[in-house]
Structure 1
């Protein structure tokens, strides 16, 4: 590949070089998710001012993944002296070994020294930290690895919740699909929000998420707590009827239980009362509308069953620690 500087004035129409650094036992989606975003951005960019991507490894051979599909790679030495727009270190079980490999970490440092932007996906943050690139910075990784990252590298300011974090020129992201959110955010920064939305639409990704959003899914959390699916139909019904008067009696009738028995069993299974569960679901719906629409806060409160803005404001402050108006300002995606 021809060497070029992504920021060179004479090459303003040249694709930006994105280098993905891989090693044995990576998570396949950690690589191909962001790779597809950048590849789509180049295909959709009308002025071709998109991205050129390379997948590199220490050996330049086929690299084992966590699936039956291996990944071809180029030798990392080929890119040591090339100006790189974005360096992406992917994650996987192999990160636990790679972070202890002094020669591999030296390669990371050499590539990072020539990169305008340094990123990690999932447990790739462990490798950046081992290379000393996260010292004193905010960072996130997959929630299962956050404790290890914090305990092994106490100089890193680990945050558990965000899907990705940008601290200066270094970006870190949470698990697996959060790497696509990170890549879309980079496309938005480089090529503009409309370009990122165009890529997301082409990839049938429903929105471009802000990094401050949580890597935890409330819907998935409910499914994990209710593994037998005892209240699954109820939750679907609640989600479709949040604007209604959802008292305990109505919910109990839906699952053919007495109100007292339902309240007791639900609280034991889900870890919160039925009323608190409804409030949480209404807040989730309101969050989505605040992020993706221009509907007034008053109307959102009505649509989500809060009935008035003050009741919704109190719920947001209690559950999210922020007022609806401030939440919209920070996380609106349109």
Structure 2
């Protein structure tokens, strides 16, 4: 029968067990129990760093995970928790909108990354635009040619159409009565232009007619105003390709004199707000109905005029930013989603 001894607290202990050994055993037990409890209900932070080469090659070297213990253990990402405490964004994202071409170029130069940033041009003549993708994929000149870009940091410039151009496009092909057409020519007198030699040769070759000067159009406009209520007496096409309209004499001073009607005239307008003006040929047409004339005009290839202006801007951007400029759209949207087929900014 083993002998016991009573300690100061009245607990019976084996006579051969010292007090300090009892305390050490009790402490070990407590630590082990605490560890077991922590593992049963706590959270353990794991660092995943033994990644395959395929992941390391795309910039993913290591990442932390939380191992949540309990009845239903699970792995949980820590990224959302870490994002709450950021002082700066993880990377640049969003799309700035420039209101002028010069501002677009300045913004691109401010943010561009050599061998990574590119510019895309949409030459759709009804809604042309330029979009710079700052964080695009790296080129063959970069140190890491396999590194893809997010495509989320952009500068966008939707070419703002000028009011003059929108007004010409709005009335393109629309029939007008004689007084209305005459007033239109008077109102837009400052937008009429004389063609240069190259344009005149092209028009005379393609349309087989002469090109009117601004003064000839103004003379036509005033003659139409005089004969505003007159009926057409005679019409003939001249050898030059222009037409003559003879009105019945109904107004004092009109004398039924024939009016020369040119087949083509030229306007000088900027398709874009604060852009450079260009020369655009316009066909002048008319139809006779019940002795009266309905006038209308047709802008020659408005799509070609816009496309030419966009491509001129593309050259300007390429020269001033030293970036590649592509006619098209990026394969991802500004939110990072992949675009199938024809994409958009």
TM above 0.5, one fold? no
> Which one has the bigger strand percentage?
2
Give me the TM-score of the superposition, normalised by structure 1: 0.26
Give me the TM-score of the superposition, normalised by structure 2: 0.26
Between the two structures, name the one with larger relative contact order (CA 8 Å, sep ≥ 6). Answer: 2
